[in-house]
Structure 1
Amino acid sequence: MALERFSDVVQSCQLVQDESYSPADFDLFHAAGKSCIEQGHSAHVLSVIIDERNKNIVRCMGWNLLEPLVKVLLKKEEKNLHHCQAIFSHLLQVCSPKELVVGLLEQVEEADPDAVAETIALLLTPLQTVLLKLGKKKASTLGMALSTVLSQVTKLPVPQSREQEEDDVFGLCRCCTALSRFIQPFVEEVKENIKERRTISRDDELRVEILKFCMKSLSEPLLDVQLKDPGTFETSPLRDFATDTLVTLCSIGESLPDLLSHNLLRKRDVPGFLEEEVRYPKESLASLAHLLFVHHIAMDMFPAVLSPVFVLQCNMEHVELLLGRTEESWLQKGLELYEKTLVRVEDSSLPCDLLDLKSFLNVPQNLIKVMTLCPVQNVRTKGLSVFQLSIDKFNTEAKYKFFRCMLKTSDHAGVEGFIIKNIKNQLDLALKVQRPVRPLCK
């Protein structure tokens, strides 16, 4: 019955002139083809699809068969797999690229929650092939594809241990690796555009879409991922994805130092302020700073000439953002970034005027909340050690101003006791300073 119905629909469509198919024709073709595939008659569907007489029908309506085809390909049923793969490949060759993109993305969006990783792994390469057929007008479509896929990827649980990442129990690693491969041809195109124009165009739509993808990736999933040290295991797909993201940013003409200092620069009267906020989200820049200074990813592309104090100023708002959250992973990253940035600074060198900057007072307030309110013991302990490290970096005048401010604003006995202890230590240190002894007058 399904076979006869599908054949009747196709014969009816053959009589339509100038490809003027009605919405009813589309619905009938979809329903009949779906029934055939679901009932295991994929060989018959293939014979109809590749028939030259049906070329126009397939070009216009074939993409409607993606839904049942994807279901079979995901199940990997041996009986129908070969024919369904052949149908799928043929549709990719003859159907309208724009309609194929829409159809493929619908399958990504509607993926079963338990099969998100498998669906993305199956469809990313075909999606890349179709997008490349769109030529110079693919930027907005690429942006839509990247946004759709990444929104599904971020729903996958993040590995919490080395074993989970190695086994890729949730599929996140597979998806990140596939995304890195997916984006490469488009990155190469942007690089060629830059090479031809001999300049970086901020209005290059393809470049903007790739930039948005990188920024989104930095915040989700990378900001929630606890990367392992390179020596922990041989390969780390998530670390590779982080590296690829930063390398991609450099490849499309973004400067890592400029991104790091973006929070400082945006305070100036820069045209397009709102656009800059949208294009460079704070969470993404904080994640970038953490990857650079804690994991040293892409540090070979980062100039070593920037002073430690300037780097500290750049990172303070990133630290403030991270420590202002309650998630353990964000707090840990904020503490790590602050510690790694502080250790580069010479002890007793930070001047008093830095405390006029809002972030230099907000960060200690956030640290106090971590030290007193965080339910995780090791995070509270880490917060205390970083708090002390930050005090050690101020010069004498700055310490005095800092202590006075903390005592005025703190309402926690433990914190006040800690500050008073530091004041006593400073007094002891001052009294121990050896002064030159004057010779007795004769």
Structure 2
Amino acid sequence: MCFKHRTLGQGGVIGLHSGPHNQTDGILIRNVGWNLIGPIAKCMQSCAVGSEKERGCLQLLNALIESCNPKEILLGILEQIDEAAGDHISRIILPFLQPLQIVLLKLGNKKSYSVGLSLSTIHSRLSNLPVPYTAQQMQEDKYSLCQCCLALVQFAQPFIDIVSQSIDLSKEADTEEMRKELLTFCFSCLKYPLLNAPLNTLPEDEGDHPLRVFAKQIMGFLVSLGESLPRTFVQRGHSAPTNDTEGSISGNEVCSVESLACLSYLLFVQHIGIDSFPFVFGPSFLVKSNMGHVAVLLKRTEESLLSKGLDLLEHSLLRVDNGSLPEDVLEVLTANQVLQDLVKVMTLCPIEHLRKKSLATLQLVIDKFCVEGKYKLFRCLLKISSHAGVEGYIIHNIKNQIDAALKTNPQNKWFLGTRLTPLLLSALSLSEGAETDLLQMSDRIMASLNLLRYLVIKDDDNETGVWSELAKIEQDFLKPLHTGLNMSRAHYDAEIRSTHEKKRGSHSGKPLCTVTAGGNKLPDMTPEMQLQVLQSALFTFDLMESVLARVEELIEVKLKSAPEGKIGSS
């Protein structure tokens, strides 16, 4: 068919009229035909998907591809994709992928740059679409992101085949360059949309969900491109991407830390691509290597990423036997960051199930470490937590370890004897002495009192060194706690009297107390509400005082009843 005349038909449909072959027409089409791509794209946006009008537009586009310079058509198509926005992104990308693929295949051997430019342009536009999160959103696929992902896999497949078929042969420069472009695309897809994709919430009967299929295809592409998943995991697990040897990703522009974190998540949580990952590494090594990936995920605030980070840490630890994780895991640079972020999720995350999950994961971390690892972990957590509830939880775990040592392993050098002393003194102390906010620190203080009560009852032979350090414990913990309780009780008693006076001098129920937290004004409190808060505080002080009195009573009884020189000796 030759092109004699171009018109905009009814409804804006572009029409081509056939006529006798004319060489001038052919030259004109080759020179300016790419200018028609814009009107074609505009026409397609206004017609229904799969309509006769859309088919006519695609036929016209294919005719232009046959007649015009491929590079000009390529730029014309990419221009339309790059300008697409909002609801029109998928509406332009989906019908243009196959024509764009045809154009790229017509370019011959020197097409790696054009393939990379096409993939980056398409991915850049898709990155503006929200990733569906709930089951309903995934089913609706409002912005056709899932559909675009599957179409993008089909679009990239021929170029993957070109590289994979020559992967074992002497590589030409253009093939190797295309390999790098395709790797860049694959790792970009790991960052978006797969990093945010809720793969962990998909039910088992949705194994063929587009996002899961897309993840499997991308991991398969990496293997087909000759990317060694174990080498990538090992070389990138401890540090930022750098140039390295053949057969692995090269350069920061190819692979971000987020992409690597997603790769690790797909391998070890979803088990996607795990068949191409031979398990030549020990469980402890995998935990060390995954620490960096977990740190990347836990520092984010999005629910899907936090969930992935917790899942990755959990699945890494589940491969380790209880009590076998070596202490040198804590020497990994990112391990300290993971612990801090775990505490932040536990205490600050507004999503309840993630807070509960992080607490369970912390206990899993504790259970997996060897005895020395547990000891160093507890010391680390007491330094970095800055949260009374977490510190109380750690002190409770310290008590459990001491109990296990006393019952089953009297030779334990970490939770008995002089090695225990620094940890013990750290647990049995008040950070601000008598001026410590006892109400805010009540969880930690109660855990410390329970630990001391346990030691006084169980350790008659001074195996933990508690009796040797009793004078210091009294000086740094018991006496300041007595003073602090007296001061706090006096303060709250005065507040209660003041509130009663305000209540008698005002109308009942009228807000009289304004409270601010973090610079934000909270709802006003009535005198009745204020009294309830103050009474609750006094109840907490009563409880502390009761346990404190019991501990001091036990200490006195033990000191009086013990044979001379037995208690208190090292």
**TM-score category of the 2 structures, normalised to the smaller one:** 0.7 to 0.9
Q: Are residue 341 (structure 1) and residue 312 (structure 2) matched?
A: no
Aligned to 1:15: none
Q: Are residue 401 (structure 1) and residue 376 (structure 2) matched?
A: yes
* 1:387 pairs with one of 362, 376, 379: 362
Q: Are residue 107 (structure 1) and residue 68 (structure 2) matched?
A: no
Identical amino acids, percent of aligned pairs: 42
Q: Which amino acid aligns with 1:401?
A: K
1:108-123 equivalences under 5 Å are 108-123=81-96
Aligned to 2:57: 84
Aligned to 1:216: 188
**Distance between the aligned counterparts of 1:252 and 1:409, measured in 2?**
43
Q: Which amino acid aligns with 1:103?
A: G
Structure 1, gaps ≥5 residues long? 1-5, 11-32, 437-442
Q: In the superposition, relative to structure 1, how do residues 266 and 201 fare at CA in structure 2: closer, same or farther (>3 Å)?
A: farther
- Larger helix proportion, structure 1 or 2? 1
**Distance between the aligned counterparts of 1:82 and 1:299, measured in 2?**
42
Aligned to 1:55: 26
**Distance between the aligned counterparts of 1:253 and 1:49, measured in 2?**
52
Q: Deviations over 1:369-412 (max 9, x none)?
A: 11111111111110110011011111111111111122123321
Comparing 180-189 and 400-409, the one that deviates more: 400-409
Comparing 424-433 and 76-85, the one that deviates more: 76-85
Q: Give the secondary-structure state (helix, strand or coil) at the position aligned to 1:66.
A: helix
Count of aligned pairs between the two proteins? 404
* 2:109 pairs with one of 133, 136, 140: 136
* 1:237 pairs with one of 204, 210, 223: 210
Q: In the superposition, relative to structure 1, how do residues 82 and 217 fare at CA in structure 2: closer, same or farther (>3 Å)?
A: closer
RMSD: 2.8
1:59-70 equivalences under 5 Å are 59-70=30-41
Larger RCO, structure (CA 8 Å, separation 6 or more): 1
Contact map agreement 2:13 2:57 (CA 8 A) in 1 = no
**Displacement, 1:310?**
1.1
Contact map agreement 2:242 2:250 (CA 8 A) in 1 = no
* 2:70 pairs with one of 86, 89, 97: 97
Q: In the superposition, relative to structure 1, how do residues 133 and 263 fare at CA in structure 2: closer, same or farther (>3 Å)?
A: same
**Distance between the aligned counterparts of 1:156 and 1:48, measured in 2?**
44
Q: Which amino acid aligns with 1:72?
A: C
Q: Deviations over 1:213-270 (max 9, x none)?
A: 0010000111011014462326211101000000000000001111211224758996
Contact map agreement 1:216 1:284 (CA 8 A) in 2 = yes
**Distance between the aligned counterparts of 1:42 and 1:250, measured in 2?**
44
**Distance between the aligned counterparts of 1:231 and 1:387, measured in 2?**
27
Aligned to 2:226: 253
**Displacement, 1:434?**
6.8
Q: In the superposition, relative to structure 1, how do residues 46 and 333 fare at CA in structure 2: closer, same or farther (>3 Å)?
A: farther
**Distance between the aligned counterparts of 1:330 and 1:387, measured in 2?**
18
Larger radius of gyration: 2
Q: Are residue 311 (structure 1) and residue 283 (structure 2) matched?
A: no
Aligned to 2:119: 146
**Displacement, 1:277?**
2.9
**Distance between the aligned counterparts of 2:57 and 2:359, measured in 1?**
61
**Distance between the aligned counterparts of 2:21 and 2:239, measured in 1?**
57
Name the TM-score, length of structure 1 as normaliser. 0.84
**Distance between the aligned counterparts of 1:72 and 1:406, measured in 2?**
62
Contact map agreement 1:202 1:208 (CA 8 A) in 2 = no
Contact map agreement 1:121 1:178 (CA 8 A) in 2 = yes
* 1:74 pairs with one of 45, 54, 75: 45
Q: Are residue 412 (structure 1) and residue 383 (structure 2) matched?
A: no
**Distance between the aligned counterparts of 1:267 and 1:80, measured in 2?**
50
**Displacement, 1:363?**
0.8
Q: Give the secondary-structure state (helix, strand or coil) at the position aligned to 1:137.
A: coil
Q: Deviations over 1:17-71 (max 9, x none)?
A: xxxxxxxxxxxxxxxx6x735864733x444798554001101110100111122
Q: Give the secondary-structure state (helix, strand or coil) at the position aligned to 2:64.
A: helix
Q: In the superposition, relative to structure 1, how do residues 336 and 55 fare at CA in structure 2: closer, same or farther (>3 Å)?
A: same
Q: Are residue 282 (structure 1) and residue 253 (structure 2) matched?
A: no
Q: Deviations over 1:271-327 (max 9, x none)?
A: 699953332211100000001111111111111232111111111100011111111
Q: In the superposition, relative to structure 1, how do residues 275 and 256 fare at CA in structure 2: closer, same or farther (>3 Å)?
A: closer
Q: In the superposition, relative to structure 1, how do residues 349 and 109 fare at CA in structure 2: closer, same or farther (>3 Å)?
A: same
Contact map agreement 2:327 2:370 (CA 8 A) in 1 = yes
Q: In the superposition, relative to structure 1, how do residues 201 and 377 fare at CA in structure 2: closer, same or farther (>3 Å)?
A: farther
**Distance between the aligned counterparts of 1:261 and 1:402, measured in 2?**
25
Q: Give the secondary-structure state (helix, strand or coil) at the position aligned to 1:113.
A: coil
Contact map agreement 1:177 1:241 (CA 8 A) in 2 = yes
Q: In the superposition, relative to structure 1, how do residues 102 and 202 fare at CA in structure 2: closer, same or farther (>3 Å)?
A: closer
Aligned to 1:354: 329
